Every structure is written in C-alpha cells, then in structure tokens.
Structure 1
C-alpha cells in the first residue's frame, strides 16, 4: 500500500492530467483522497511542491542517463529509457499543461541536462553541423514518446531507435 505522500502524488498526477495543474486545487486533491487540505499541506506546503515532486524522478533519471553515458548511443538509449519510463507524466505535462516546465528550477535543470546530452551525442570536437545534428537526434527521442505515450512500450522503443538509427545511417559511428 502506498504511503500518504505517494498517494498524494499519484492522485495529484491524475487530477493534473484530467483538468490541468491550474484548475486543480489542493482541496480537490485532499477530497479525492479522503484527507483534509491541512493533511496534504503537511506533506507538501504548496501545490507547486507537488508539481516539483512529480518532476523529480524524471529529472533524476535523466541525470543518471547522462551521468553514465560514455558515447552517442549510450546517451541516446539512456535518454530514451528515461523518457519512456515517464512518458505519461510527459504526455500530460507537455501536451496538456506546461506548468511543470514553467517552473524555473525544472526548466533550468532540464536545459542543463539536455545541453550535456547534446555534448555527448555530438562527440568530441564537433563542428556546428554535428552539434545541430545531435540536437535533432535528441529531439527525436522525446516527441514520439510524448505523442504516442499509450503505445506499447516495446513497439515505441523500437520505432524511436529505428528512426534515430536511420537519421544517423550515413554516419560511420
């Protein structure tokens, strides 16, 4: 059974997906759980703290992927796995409600991670065209996962990797 904090996050994520972050109140989260608003605020002092807690596992998984990647394909596969793992969160917070990325701390951390991923994918000493190509390859990882979040995960993984491999088909790496 989930602890209270985990139940709050699960319920908040569902409500944010149903009606958006801006249209969901702490009171609604509490009522859905059969708790008081004060009980929810004990765990999360403000609604934005719930949003930040929802973003944390995704950002941590991106950091882990970037941290262990040693080359282009290691970075691509690691980033893809992080996106796949959090595909429903991303789908709801990118296609329906941009509240999560509107949080400065989330946006800064995400941008830093994507810049590091771009560096890894571009490889050592890249020219401008190679840097642009790396950015394109990384963008190819998130968009299909966000758009097709409900597709079978193995099919989605295979299709995305096939697309990235085709993109780099003229490349010797």
Structure 2
C-alpha cells in the first residue's frame, strides 16, 4: 500500500512540476530532462510514469476536463433550460478560476492545444452537449456567436496574467457577471442581510 501511495505522490509531484515548467517555458520549451531535474530525479524515473511529453501534457489537462464533463452531465439533468445554462456557466467559471495556470496555457500553447484535441475535442458528444445546453435548440447565428464569445472570453480572461492580481472570489464573480450578460441571463441578486 505504501508503494502505491509513493507512486501516486511522485506522479502528482511530477504533474505539478510539469505544469509549473509548462507555464514558465511552454510545453514545447520544456523537456523531460528539465522536469526530471526540477523534481530531483532521473529521466528514467519520469519515463517510469510517462513515456512522452504528450502523455504528461494530457495528464496535466485531464483533471480539469473531467470536471467539465461532470458539470455538463449535471447541467443536462436540470429541468429548466435556464437552470441548465446557469449550472453550466457557474461550473465552467469555477473550473477556469480553479485551474488558472492551466487555462492560461490553453489559449497560447500548441502543445496543450494538441492534448486538448486528442482528449477533449474527440469527445464530440461532450462538446455537442455543452453547446446544446448553452445555445438551445435551433439557435440563430447571434446565439452561437454569443456562446462562443462567452466561453472563449471567460477562458481567456480567467487565464490572463493581467488578472492574476484578483482573488479567486473577485475573478469568479466578474466572470460570472460577464458570462450572464453575454448569454442573456438575469443578474444574480445579492443576498439581503436579515
């Protein structure tokens, strides 16, 4: 049991180190040797867990994508279309805020784009489900563009270095507000103190 825990701990540390180096140098600018050196292990130890940098990149993006899949599934179970949209929007914003460093890589790094294509975009039903919830049935061009602007804008802003100074709570509320406006959802009313 301790060997499994040690294996998972090393793997977790390896992925955290890879994300840090990817953020600093990009996926293309980070070598397996750099990851090994930063971890203080041999390159063979890295190979024990992952055979290629692409495998590491896919493993780095996997948790956030699994969260999104779960959010889309939960949103689809909501009864009302507005509730489905609100659930998906709030969940998407939460994932973006929680994974800021990774989201920053999504928009500009070709290595992450490859991992997304292999893992995320091949799951056509997942993307279709997400878009169907947000656009509704038979959307017009304006609605499709609004949904793409909302998702793309939230992701770009959430990963923007210029916004790193904002707390998670401030960023989350601001992104939700923008997303609601773009998707035509009513603003949340602040809770009235009793």
Distance (Å, rounded) in 2 between the aligned partners of 1:112 and 1:100:
21
Equivalent residue for 1:162, pick from 165, 174, 177: 177
* C-alpha RMSD over aligned residues: 2.4
Structure 1 residue 160, shift from structure 2 partner: 1.2
Q: 1:98 aligns to what?
A: 110
TM-score of the superposition, structure 1-length normalised? 0.84
Cα 1:157–1:18 shift into 2, 3 Å? same
In the alignment, what sits opposite 1:126?
139
Match of 2:43 in 1: 37
1:13/1:89 contact within 8 Å kept: yes
Question: What TM-score comes out, normalization by structure 2 length?
Answer: 0.76
Write out aligned runs for 1:1-173 (5 A). Answer: 3-69=9-75, 70=78, 71-95=84-108, 97-103=109-115, 104-109=117-122, 113-147=126-160, 148-168=163-183
**CA 115–135 in structure 1, closer or farther in 2 if over 3 Å, else same:** farther
Deviation of 1:28 after TM superposition, in Å, equals 1.5
The alignment covers a number of residue pairs equal to 170
Hey, what's the Cα distance between the residues in 2 that align with 1:169 and 1:119?
16
Find the aligned partners of 2:124 and 2:107 in 1 and give their Cα distance: 15
Q: CA deviation at 1:126?
A: 3.4
Specify every segment of 5 or more residues in structure 2 that has no aligned partner in the other structure, as ranges: 1-5, 79-83, 187-194
Query: 1:72 touches 1:123 (CA, 8 Å); kept in 2?
Result: no
Contact 1:73 1:121 (C-alpha < 8 Å) held by counterparts: no
Q: Is the 8 A contact 1:59 1:110 kept in 2?
A: no
Moved more, 138-147 or 103-112: 103-112
